[in-house]
Structure 1
């Protein structure tokens, strides 16, 4: 069963086009296989995709140290960054491999005049890969996983202490409405890429979205720069057969004839089978992506019973009340309990992060240091009206801490809300 209708019917490609196709064929396959190596486990419900990412990274790190002579330790454990040294080593390997294979391919296949059929297959693969990528990025926003909500830590952080990436993240996290809108657009682009009648429209939007993403990555130092470039190039690649028609219609104001989109297969049973397989693939891509992020959303939505920000009003150490001196690195200023991270802000503005566990039956709060698992602070707590009293014996010191909870809606950022009518700009 052979696909009979190609993208291009050109019987003879010029040398430049043939060489360019060979290069991009290898380069794209290299990138797609690597990403699918952990995209697929993710959508299939793998518990920890970092295991798959780290496996790839170990290979690239070994090549970097033993072939490229990079004489320093390379971080292979996944931490969310797509711009690590190992990531760039991978792209160097991908480009180098593409060049070498292209050279060998050109020598061995010198008589070949066109790659219409192979181009068609590659274009289909890239379309579905980009669709999956858009679904993953899109649904991560629709379910507010990539950008959840402004954390308690960020609410107390001064504007100048934010990183550029943190600033952009908080911008997105502030509004679930805008985040979901962005995600819906990305999901729609994924759907458009799956159909030949809409692939041009989808590619144009994808390139626009990814150009914006790339500029944000460059402007706010977000570590997904190299990957966003690859996605842009892929978008241009699948748009390439229609670029001339697009220019003639939008720029040169010429009449453009409709493209004839014939079935891939000549026999009806093959056409029907193709529709069924395609429908199953689309359902799998969408439903598995939704399931993946719903699961993450549920895991991350859990909150401690003490979730919140606590302003310390009185700090007693060994029956001695410590004055709130801004140079004191021991006295607490705030206790911050967040969804996946908790910590203490001392009077000198330093924040020490802890793993928090609250037992509502015994009324105890346990803070365990991330740096030293043996460094544990266990507090009993009671609530009197709006006052929270924490007591503990820590390293032979008796501690008694009185604090008041500051609700999230006490912050202007949270309570300002939306207004159709603004008599004056409220820009603070």
Structure 2
């Protein structure tokens, strides 16, 4: 679309496209706010009371989905519920466009509505990218490779796990990505909108590509952020084409802004400043708080360390593997409530961890096999030696381990470091 002054007459195709995108993006922002607008969750609760019944009905009766459609959050943004919701929004937008086109034949343009729609969309995209950028700058979204990741083979990792390890390895790259996304603050102001959109378009395209090609379940959101950037920049597409490819002198135009009272304009500007202050200020505070909760010292176990097994006895035997208890290769303890055991020749397994430091006792419960419970008493030798004795199922167990607190030095990935000079590629 070109810039739309108040007095211009839009073409039929422009009006039809606008009617569709106005309905579609408005409903998407309302129903899939994803925490973009502050305190919007309270309004979402009202929508969800209807949608959580209506969307599964659409899936079952219109799309013929036979399995149960789950409606609760589970960490994925690409659930069946989400896709059926997008389908429903699209159908409503099509119907709305048809009805609106019949009733609005004489309307010359929608310049005022276009302004308010673009304001809503650029605030949505801007705040979403700022939020995502903050968690990258502080390195909360992609944490450094954990003990579990470092002992996992490439072949055993999921595509998403591989991407998270790659992206989380470098603090510098996290900072680079975070700054690029936080630059979406430029979308909130009309004068910097076009430059901000060029940056945001590349940023959202990269995020969308990672989500698609590494099977990250945020495809719906990233695709819509990209499409929203396309929608916003479309008004200057012809102008930018002339500038970049035809070497033609051009002048960018602002989005037409409806005439507002002086007080209203100041109120809108003050709202933007407060919104930006909230997103950046509270966003930084909440992100730092979350990082401390999940990765700070308060989340660490008193027995945190990487343990390499030197001796493993089951029923006083070095070879016995009764009741399918496999010999351990590594024990990994990081957080207070979780531990991971890697048996020899087997995949690692998560265990629920309980420690009683007053009695030097430890309990490990297998999440998959509820009967596999290790009741152990631990003894710390010198700075590295660590001993475990106790029972598992009907067997007695005795383990001698070597404890390494600074486990990262044991792995090439985390001890290689940065090198300006490389006589030969170090690609292992």
TM-score (norm 2): 0.89
- Any unmatched runs of 5+ in structure 2? none
How many equivalent residue pairs? 417
Query: Quick check: 1:32 aligned with 2:26?
Result: no
C-alpha contact 1:329 1:347 (8 A) present in aligned 2 = no
Choose 366-375 or 243-252, whichever is displaced more: 366-375
Counterpart residue number, 1:3: none
Deviation at 1:368, TM superposition (A): 2.7
2:149 to 154, 158, 169: 154
Counterpart residue number, 1:426: 426
1:306 is paired with a residue whose SS is: strand
Q: Distance in 2 between the 1:300 and 1:28 partners?
A: 34
C-alpha contact 1:318 1:399 (8 A) present in aligned 2 = yes
Choose 95-104 or 83-92, whichever is displaced more: 83-92
1:8 to 5, 11, 29: 5
Correspondences of 1:34-49 after superposition (within 5 Å)? 34-36=31-33, 38-40=35-37
Counterpart residue number, 2:402: 404
1:320 is paired with a residue whose SS is: coil
C-alpha contact 1:147 1:173 (8 A) present in aligned 2 = yes
Query: Quick check: 1:334 aligned with 2:312?
Result: no
In structure 2, relative to structure 1, the CA distance for the partners of 1:246 and 1:99 (3 Å cut) is: same
Query: Quick check: 1:115 aligned with 2:103?
Result: no
2:180 is paired with a residue whose SS is: helix
1:79 is paired with a residue whose SS is: coil
In structure 2, relative to structure 1, the CA distance for the partners of 1:56 and 1:38 (3 Å cut) is: farther
Q: Distance in 1 between the 2:148 and 2:45 partners?
A: 26
Correspondences of 1:75-86 after superposition (within 5 Å)? 75-86=70-81
Q: Distance in 2 between the 1:310 and 1:10 partners?
A: 74
- Any unmatched runs of 5+ in structure 1? 1-5
Counterpart residue number, 1:269: 263
Query: Quick check: 1:381 aligned with 2:375?
Result: no
Query: Quick check: 1:89 aligned with 2:84?
Result: yes
1:237 is paired with a residue whose SS is: helix
Tell me how large the CA RMSD over aligned residues is: 2.9
Superimposed CA distance per residue, residues 60-90 of structure 1 (whole angstroms, 9 cap, x where no aligned partner): 3343124432111223332322222222111
C-alpha contact 1:314 1:402 (8 A) present in aligned 2 = yes
Q: Distance in 2 between the 1:177 and 1:50 partners?
A: 38
Q: Distance in 2 between the 1:44 and 1:109 partners?
A: 34
Counterpart residue number, 1:349: 346
Deviation at 1:267, TM superposition (A): 4.4
Query: Quick check: 1:306 aligned with 2:303?
Result: yes
Deviation at 1:324, TM superposition (A): 9.2
2:78 is paired with a residue whose SS is: coil
Deviation at 1:409, TM superposition (A): 1.3
Q: Distance in 1 between the 2:221 and 2:316 partners?
A: 57
Q: Distance in 2 between the 1:306 and 1:56 partners?
A: 46
Deviation at 1:27, TM superposition (A): 0.8
Q: Distance in 1 between the 2:133 and 2:228 partners?
A: 18
Q: Distance in 1 between the 2:13 and 2:110 partners?
A: 13
In structure 2, relative to structure 1, the CA distance for the partners of 1:293 and 1:62 (3 Å cut) is: farther
In structure 2, relative to structure 1, the CA distance for the partners of 1:144 and 1:58 (3 Å cut) is: farther
Q: Distance in 2 between the 1:102 and 1:318 partners?
A: 74
Counterpart residue number, 1:362: 359
Counterpart residue number, 1:211: 205
C-alpha contact 1:50 1:77 (8 A) present in aligned 2 = no
